[in-house]
Structure 1
Amino acid sequence: MNRTVRNFIDQAILTDKQSVVVGTGKSGLAAARLLHAVGAQVRVVDRNEDVNEDILGELKGKVTLIKGEHRKEHFADADIVVFSPGVPVKKLASVLDGIPASKLVSELEFASWFIEAPVLAVTGSNGKTTTVSMIAAILEQAERRIFTGGNIGVPLCEYLLDMEPAEIIVLEVSSFQLQNCRLFKPHVALFLNFAANHLDYHEDMDEYLDAKLALFSQMTGEDTALMHESLREMLENRPFTNAHVEWFGANETFEAPNLLGTHNRANIEAAWQAVKRFGVTEEQAGETIRNFKPLPHRIEPVAEKFGVLYVNDSKATTLDAALAAVHSFDRPVRLLMGGVWKGGDVDAFAKAIKGAVVSVGLFGGSREILEPALEEHCAVFWDETLEDAVKRQTNLSDINDVILLAPATSSFDQYNNMAERGNDFKRVVEGLHE
């Protein structure tokens, strides 16, 4: 427990204040733990009728759990409402009516009130986890004491309660987390890229961009905002931050044999520009980057069979991410796509893959969205399952082809998450006979 948390307790800042936590995911429960630790009365609400009180763990019997449809009386007496990531506040407008916006915060925002160490935060539509993991590896190589979490791994509230204080806090931050942030202030913040994503959650692209830019709104001239060159035209004349702004792009500064594609070259440059603000040398960064390997489900080579390379990029849940994956190879690509549609310009995507992709194997959902545009530029097939799609593309393939899983969709039509989808792809590939 850090000093600021202890100060909140000693000064009774939140003692007996009524808090409401929306959602029983790991971030919501971590926020409930922190609220309870600082003396607040905690009410946890979740629409899921099947949630069991056992999910509260050590908080069982100490906080109130309300299941089922949210009602106005669940929030009317709240001094603070903390949202788990992914809870769409606008859809709760009717039950939150009359509660000042200042009382509505994300778990990330709430946790940030207690942070003492400088924050290095990374956002973007694609590549966040790879870049954050690379930054963390470089800083650890440089023997800096860090905490890595946020949208990946450990929630920030949990760090504050359970872990040793860090010198640097490295966070992956999503638009879901940022949409209810007003005071969160990183010392260094990265914006990797921006493309259609989460339009099943955000009202439109403008709302999605506004959420991303909230990351930079409280930064000052002593802080650094690192922005990818692709954002310059959109943001250069927009007053979105008071931070010192610098622009970066793909760079060949470092040897990186395990990271394919121009997009990863940009991620490497972003990581370097960020860590050097914390005293890391080029030599320290170079050694780590040279040995850094892609994370699971992110342009991950699975096997080479019959002269065909099988690559798992299940994390490519947008068209832009899928396009970056396609252009990572100088071999003919047979692309596997399908799932729950999240938005984007399929016509532009189809034109951009012309010549690089020789066939597309669709599976599961979104066929009616993807097939009409894609079939104008390459052969397109559809199968109910990923397994059948892999086998069909294998039968069609020639030596030197790449069979690439880059679905450009979320996984929730047939899988619980993108990792489960990627692991299923690996299972199918492993079962193919030599």
Structure 2
Amino acid sequence: MNRIVRNFINEAILTGKRAVVVGTGRSGLAAARLLDVLGAKVRVVDRDETVTGEKLGELAGKVELVTGPHEKAHFADADMVVFSPGVAVRKLAPVLEGIPARNLVAELELASWFIEAPILAVTGSNGKTTTTTLITEILKKAGRRVFTGGNIGVPLCEYLLDMEPAEILVLEVSSFQLQNCRLFKPHVGVFLNFAANHLDYHQDLEEYLDAKLHLFSRMTLDDTALLHESLRPPLNGRTFTGARIEWFGPTSRFAAPHLLGEHNRSNVEAAWQAVKRFGVTEEQAAEAIREFRPLPHRIEPVAEKNGVLYVNDSKATTLDAAEAAVHAFDRPVRILMGGVWKGGDVARFAEGIDGHVASVGLFGGSRDILEPELARHFSVTWDETLEAAVRRQASLAAPGDVILLSPATSSFDQYRNMAERGADFKRAVEGLHG
């Protein structure tokens, strides 16, 4: 068990304190487990009335479970409220009235109190998972013992309870997590880019940016903030960190044969600038980057049929990500888009891809938002399902074209997540003749 966790237990720092955990996802349950170990009286609340004690696993019978609409009474006796990622705290304000802001924390924040190893944290609107995973592979190639988690894979609370200590913690961190972090402090923080995203969660772009900047607020001159050069305008005049600030952009320093597009050249440079702070040589980085392949659903080639390349970029849930994907190809692109709208400037997007896109195949939701502006520039069709849209675009395509699933939306109109959407695209492509 972690030394600081043991100290909390021995000194009974949280013994008998009431901790309310919001959400029964993996991060929420990991936080509940840690709080239970620390001796707190834990109540787990979830809006989903179908959640039962069975979902609590080993915590069943040890913690209180409350389901259904949140009520002020569920939080009135709380000494601490811990939020799972994706829980919009702003929307809970009426039931949290009277609880000091310092007592409202993210699962990431809670776990960070017990971390001694240096943290390398990556945030941004797009490219977080690719860059975080690439950083991990480089560090492993250099022989370092690494834990990777946060917004991907294993929650930080789970690492504390179940895993061997690592030399370096590489974390992907989202605005959802950062919004309720006050003491979280990485040794190296990376901010890849900023674009309209999660406006179904955040009140506006200013709140979204402010949440991202929480990553840097506790850093000092002993730490490094790595910022993409595109962030200069939105950050101009802001005082948001005490860290040393360094800027990066796309370069061709390394051969990255499997990572397409200028945005990935920026991601590669960010990874290198981050890992060299931990003693990695350029040769070690070059080897790992050369071997690195894109993760599933991120500009992932699926098949080539009748001279048409089919590419799965289901992870592109913003207009900026979709635009970057289009520009990754020097072939005509027929782009598939649609789902739950998250915000952005469709007119600017259309201008950005004009001359590169042969047609747009819309499917599912957001047709009313996307079609009016896109139809001013491109031939646009709409189908209810992704499979029908794939078949229609395949019938229009000529040898040399790319049919690119890059939806610029979240998947929750028709799918449980972006991975399920990407898998459905692959299935549809497999069903095509040729």
Instruction: For 2:331 and 2:37, locate their aligned partners in 1 and report how far apart those are by CA, in whole Å.
Output: 56
Deviation at 1:28, TM superposition (A): 0.3
In structure 1, what is the equivalent of residue 323 of structure 2?
A: 323
In structure 1, what is the equivalent of residue 137 of structure 2?
A: 137
In structure 2, what is the equivalent of residue 284 of structure 1?
A: 284
Q: What amino acid sits opposite 1:35 in the alignment?
A: L
Deviation at 1:238, TM superposition (A): 1.2
Q: How does 1:385-400 map to 2 (within 5 A)?
A: 385-400=385-400
In structure 1, what is the equivalent of residue 295 of structure 2?
A: 295
Q: What amino acid sits opposite 1:95 in the alignment?
A: V
Q: Counterpart of 1:242 in 2: which secondary structure?
A: coil
Instruction: For 2:140 and 2:187, locate their aligned partners in 1 and report how far apart those are by CA, in whole Å.
Output: 19
Q: How does 1:43-192 map to 2 (within 5 A)?
A: 43-192=43-192
Instruction: For 1:246 and 1:267, locate their aligned partners in 2 and report how far apart those are by CA, in whole Å.
Output: 15
Q: What amino acid sits opposite 2:311 in the alignment?
A: V
| CA deviation string 1:233-286 (max 9, x = no partner) | 221431110000000000100001000000000000000000000000000000
Deviation at 1:60, TM superposition (A): 0.4
Q: What amino acid sits opposite 1:390 in the alignment?
A: V
Instruction: For 1:90 and 1:340, locate their aligned partners in 2 and report how far apart those are by CA, in whole Å.
Output: 21
Instruction: For 2:417 and 2:71, locate their aligned partners in 1 and report how far apart those are by CA, in whole Å.
Output: 29
| CA deviation string 1:337-363 (max 9, x = no partner) | 000000000011111111100100000
Q: Counterpart of 2:140 in 1: which secondary structure?
A: helix
Deviation at 1:146, TM superposition (A): 0.8
Instruction: For 2:102 and 2:238, locate their aligned partners in 1 and report how far apart those are by CA, in whole Å.
Output: 25
Q: What amino acid sits opposite 1:19 in the alignment?
A: A
| CA deviation string 1:62-110 (max 9, x = no partner) | 0000011111111111111100011111111111111100100000000
In structure 1, what is the equivalent of residue 338 of structure 2?
A: 338
Instruction: For 1:359 and 1:94, locate their aligned partners in 2 and report how far apart those are by CA, in whole Å.
Output: 47
Q: How does 1:355-434 map to 2 (within 5 A)?
A: 355-434=355-434
In structure 2, what is the equivalent of residue 266 of structure 1?
A: 266
Q: Counterpart of 1:294 in 2: which secondary structure?
A: coil
Q: Does 1:352 align with 2:352?
A: yes
Unaligned runs of 5+ in 2: none
Q: What amino acid sits opposite 2:372 in the alignment?
A: P
Instruction: For 2:204 and 2:341, locate their aligned partners in 1 and report how far apart those are by CA, in whole Å.
Output: 15
Deviation at 1:113, TM superposition (A): 0.4
Instruction: For 1:353 and 1:396, locate their aligned partners in 2 and report how far apart those are by CA, in whole Å.
Output: 19
Q: Counterpart of 1:315 in 2: which secondary structure?
A: coil
Instruction: For 1:108 and 1:176, locate their aligned partners in 2 and report how far apart those are by CA, in whole Å.
Output: 10
Instruction: For 2:292 and 2:124, locate their aligned partners in 1 and report how far apart those are by CA, in whole Å.
Output: 21
Instruction: For 2:409 and 2:223, locate their aligned partners in 1 and report how far apart those are by CA, in whole Å.
Output: 35
Deviation at 1:399, TM superposition (A): 0.5
| CA deviation string 1:117-140 (max 9, x = no partner) | 000000000000000000000001
| CA deviation string 1:369-407 (max 9, x = no partner) | 000100111100000100000000000000100000000
In structure 1, what is the equivalent of residue 216 of structure 2?
A: 216
Instruction: For 1:170 and 1:75, locate their aligned partners in 2 and report how far apart those are by CA, in whole Å.
Output: 33
Deviation at 1:175, TM superposition (A): 0.2
In structure 2, what is the equivalent of residue 234 of structure 1?
A: 234
Instruction: For 2:66 and 2:203, locate their aligned partners in 1 and report how far apart those are by CA, in whole Å.
Output: 28
In structure 2, what is the equivalent of residue 243 of structure 1?
A: 243
Decide which moves more: 115-124 or 232-241. 232-241
Q: Give the alignment's TM-score, normalised by structure 2.
A: 1.00
Q: Counterpart of 1:212 in 2: which secondary structure?
A: helix
Instruction: For 1:78 and 1:155, locate their aligned partners in 2 and report how far apart those are by CA, in whole Å.
Output: 23
Instruction: For 1:150 and 1:75, locate their aligned partners in 2 and report how far apart those are by CA, in whole Å.
Output: 26
In structure 1, what is the equivalent of residue 205 of structure 2?
A: 205
Q: Does 1:30 align with 2:30?
A: yes
Q: What amino acid sits opposite 1:301 in the alignment?
A: P
Q: What amino acid sits opposite 1:83 in the alignment?
A: F
Unaligned runs of 5+ in 1: none
| CA deviation string 1:129-160 (max 9, x = no partner) | 00000000000111101100000000000000
Q: What amino acid sits opposite 1:313 in the alignment?
A: D
Q: Counterpart of 1:125 in 2: which secondary structure?
A: coil
Instruction: For 1:351 and 1:269, locate their aligned partners in 2 and report how far apart those are by CA, in whole Å.
Output: 27
Instruction: For 1:201 and 1:424, locate their aligned partners in 2 and report how far apart those are by CA, in whole Å.
Output: 26
Instruction: For 2:396 and 2:141, locate their aligned partners in 1 and report how far apart those are by CA, in whole Å.
Output: 45
Instruction: For 1:204 and 1:35, locate their aligned partners in 2 and report how far apart those are by CA, in whole Å.
Output: 33
Instruction: For 1:328 and 1:410, locate their aligned partners in 2 and report how far apart those are by CA, in whole Å.
Output: 21
Q: What amino acid sits opposite 1:142 in the alignment?
A: A
Instruction: For 2:289 and 2:305, locate their aligned partners in 1 and report how far apart those are by CA, in whole Å.
Output: 28
| CA deviation string 1:193-224 (max 9, x = no partner) | 00000000000000000000000000000000
Q: What amino acid sits opposite 2:85 in the alignment?
A: P
Q: What amino acid sits opposite 2:305 in the alignment?
A: K
Instruction: For 2:269 and 2:354, locate their aligned partners in 1 and report how far apart those are by CA, in whole Å.
Output: 28
Number of residue pairs aligned between Structure 1 and Structure 2: 434
Instruction: For 1:401 and 1:310, locate their aligned partners in 2 and report how far apart those are by CA, in whole Å.
Output: 9
Q: Counterpart of 1:70 in 2: which secondary structure?
A: coil
Stretches of 4+ aligned residues off by more than 2 angstroms: none
Q: Counterpart of 2:316 in 1: which secondary structure?
A: coil
Question: Aligned residues: percent identity?
Answer: 76
